Amino acid sequence: MDVQLIVLCVLTFIIYLIGALAYAARIAGVRSRKIAVSFALFNVLVLVSRAANSFQAPFLSKRIELNLINKAEALFWDFQILMFTATLATIVGTLMVPTTQRLFTRAIQHFHANRSVPKLIMHAFAKGGVGYLKTAVTAPSVEYVKGLREKSIVSVRMVVLNVMAQCFLALGVFASLYAGFIAPEFRVTALSLSAVINGVATILLFVIIDPQLSVMTDDVIEGKVTEGQFRRAVVWLAGSRVVGTALAQVLLVPGAMLIAEIARVI
């Protein structure tokens, strides 16, 4: 594994780790009853994710160009490593939700006291913030895993749609770029098709899944749903996120071949 691939793995890990931690922001918002502030603070992490994403695409594109020039055949395993990194980051992010939720709750309290994001960031790296990190680290509770046997407020349809959405999100970038390697004469067209795939995933997320999750969040605030039920719902959605990302790795080659074929005929 060369330096360029290691950098790509690090960027991929950051992107998918932060994406998985979004559920922690919701739980922290519910516990603190300050949902808007929780989302605002999470957007700071989103900026880091988008910065990593802005570097990932050109770095990976350059790697494809170099392999085409040198007529190398090792890109399949490069993409498999990157997809595995994405799945691993999603799993790690899911396991970190309890810890991150505690950190977010503390961050919300600090922000309300000081009303400054720069001060919050400085506090996070100061002695007090590092000291709290040691006490906040916790493993996911086994009780919530056992609680999955109980009836969930999340429907099977919503879980399946979340699997599909996360799968499409992962395939949108990786499969389109790999399709450009399979059909180099149409690689610009293949890369453009990633917007179509991401568009389908975006519709699933922002039209169907996120509104339902927002309603559940409001139900907790209004007392219609318990925090325990909401946490179990988050476990289901986080688990489906892992499954969707892993499924994308399995469908990478078929998806790339389909995109390459579409790029040839449109």
Ordered per-residue pLDDT tens for the chain, 266 residues: 788 889 999 999 999 999 888 888 888 888 888 888 888 888 888 888 888 888 888 888 888 888 777 655 668 888 899 999 999 999 999 998 888 888 888 888 877 777 777 877 777 777 666 666 667 777 676 665 655 566 677 888 889 999 999 999 888 888 888 888 888 888 888 888 888 888 888 888 888 888 888 888 888 888 888 888 888 888 888 899 999 999 999 999 899 899 988 888 88
Task: List the one residue out of 183, 162, 169 whose CA is nearest residue 258.
Answer: 183
* Cβ atoms of residues 238 and 230 within 8 Å: no
Rounded-to-integer distance, Cα 35 and Cα 25, Å: 8
* Residue 189, CA atoms < 13 Å, CB-side half-sphere: 14
pLDDT for res 183: 84
Cα–Cα distances in Å, from 5 out to 77, 84, 114, 187, 263? 11, 13, 41, 21, 27
84's tokens: 């595995």
pLDDT for res 161: 92
Task: Report DSSP state, residue 193.
Answer: T
Task: List the one residue out of 79, 53, 83 whose CA is nearest residue 180.
Answer: 79
Q: What does pTM read for this prediction?
A: 0.86
Rounded-to-integer distance, Cα 264 and Cα 27, Å: 46
